[in-house]
């Protein structure tokens, strides 16, 4: 006959199991209030704002359904991870965008089932603590082009459907290397400064279409023409995306009348007619809306000039 143990002693095995489980569970970085690099923190927030502007624009570009361009698959959200960074930098990522070692959403289109700050636990049933392996799994599922399930850290499972866009990934430089830029036929890496002035929806769409246009040209060099428009004593350069000697104009009101007919004829070679309409409206809106923030827009103009030089 077993001796009768006091109630408190009977709880010891349960406490040991709970303790072991707690020790074995992964620990993710929390914001402990420590001092972090404020410049890095600012760039992290700029990075998030830029991704939140670009991801809806990428999704919008899919609605143009250009039949002539080469295609690639995209997702309705963008993710980041702090895995492998120093302790202080990991805290900065948590403070700036809610990003820890797990794949964390930092930008999402309006119809995305995942929202900013959501954390991914499983990708089609696959789960690893290694963020690189999780990124590889996400990339594979994206490029397969078929719907798949993602389970969040909350336990909720959602279905994600990749969508097709014209080839040319539009990406921002990392907060750790904000000046990095590279323009390749598969992907354009834009300097982080492009996002620091605050991209509007139309400007973000223009960046995406520019990137896709650069990709479509492949080895051929793209040329960019610009129209200078003076409004309230501030000069703005509005660039036109062109292929060869033909162009689809991104012009302000004073230039649209002369550019519209040529742009319409070239639309099938550069962008679809719908893209032209969106781009022209974007230019008009940009002039009207930025009279009170000339300095901000001129900063973006300088970055767009860098894009021009890199492509020329």
Q: What is the pLDDT of residues 125-136, one digit of tens each?
A: 999 998 888 998
The span from the CA of 112 to the CA of 91, in Å, is 27
Residue 113: strand, helix, or coil: coil
Question: Quick one: pLDDT band at residue 294, thresholds 50, 70, 90?
Answer: very low
Task: Report the number of distinct structural domains present in the chain.
Answer: 2
Residues 142 and 214 in one domain: no
Give the residue from 166, 195, 221 where a domain finishes: 166
With respect to residue 216, please indicate whether it lies within any of the assigned structural domains.
yes
Residues 57 and 190 in one domain: no
Distance of CA 283 to the CA centre of its chain: 22
Number of residues in the chain: 312
With respect to residue 28, please indicate whether it lies within any of the assigned structural domains.
no
Residues 253 and 272 in one domain: yes
With respect to residue 84, please indicate whether it lies within any of the assigned structural domains.
yes
Q: Is the pTM of this model over 0.85?
A: no
Residues 126 and 229 in one domain: no
With respect to residue 142, please indicate whether it lies within any of the assigned structural domains.
yes
Residues 247 and 306 in one domain: yes
Consecutive H or E run containing 306: helix 294-311
The span from the CA of 24 to the CA of 169, in Å, is 39
Average pLDDT, the chain: 72
Residues 304 and 261 in one domain: yes
With respect to residue 122, please indicate whether it lies within any of the assigned structural domains.
yes
Give the residue from 144, 166, 188 where a domain finishes: 166
Residues 227 and 288 in one domain: yes
Provide the residue range defining the domain that includes 270: 169-311
Residues 174 and 161 in one domain: no
Give the residue from 106, 133, 166 where a domain finishes: 166
Question: Quick one: pLDDT band at residue 217, thresholds 50, 70, 90?
Answer: low
CATH classification of the domain holding 108: 2.30.42.10
Tens digits of per-residue pLDDT, 53-112? Answer: 999 999 999 988 777 788 899 999 999 999 989 999 999 999 999 999 999 999 999 999
């Amino acid at each position: 006959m077993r001796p009768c143990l006091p109630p408190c002693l009977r709880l010891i095995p349960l406490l040991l199991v709970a303790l072991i489980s707690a020790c074995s569970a992964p620990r993710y970085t929390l914001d402990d209030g420590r001092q972090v690099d404020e410049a890095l923190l600012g760039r992290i927030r700029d990075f998030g704002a830029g991704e939140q502007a670009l991801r809806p624009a990428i999704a919008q570009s899919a609605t143009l359904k250009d039949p002539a361009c080469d295609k690639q698959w995209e997702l309705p959200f963008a993710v980041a991870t702090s895995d492998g960074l120093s302790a202080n930098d990991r805290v900065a990522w948590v403070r700036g965008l809610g990003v820890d070692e797990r794949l964390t959403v930092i930008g999402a289109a309006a119809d995305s089932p995942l929202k900013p700050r959501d954390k991914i636990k499983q990708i089609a049933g696959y789960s690893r603590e290694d963020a690189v392996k999780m990124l590889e799994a996400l990339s594979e599922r994206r490029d397969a082009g078929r719907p798949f399930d993602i389970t969040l850290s909350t336990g909720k499972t959602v279905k994600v459907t990749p969508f097709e866009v014209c080839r040319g990934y539009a990406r921002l430089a990392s907060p750790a290397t904000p000046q990095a830029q590279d323009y390749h036929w598969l992907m354009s890496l834009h300097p982080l400064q492009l996002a620091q002035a605050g991209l509007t929806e139309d400007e973000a769409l223009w960046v995406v279409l520019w990137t896709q246009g650069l990709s479509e040209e492949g080895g051929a060099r793209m040329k960019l023409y610009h129209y200078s428009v003076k409004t309230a004593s501030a000069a703005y350069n509005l660039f036109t995306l062109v292929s060869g000697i033909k162009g689809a104009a991104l012009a302000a009101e004073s230039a649209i009348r002369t550019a519209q007919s040529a742009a319409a004829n070239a639309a099938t070679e550069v962008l679809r007619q719908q893209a032209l309409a969106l781009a022209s409206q974007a230019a008009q809106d940009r002039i009207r809306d930025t009279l009170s923030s000339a300095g901000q827009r001129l900063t973006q103009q300088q970055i767009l000039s860098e894009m021009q030089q890199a492509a020329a």
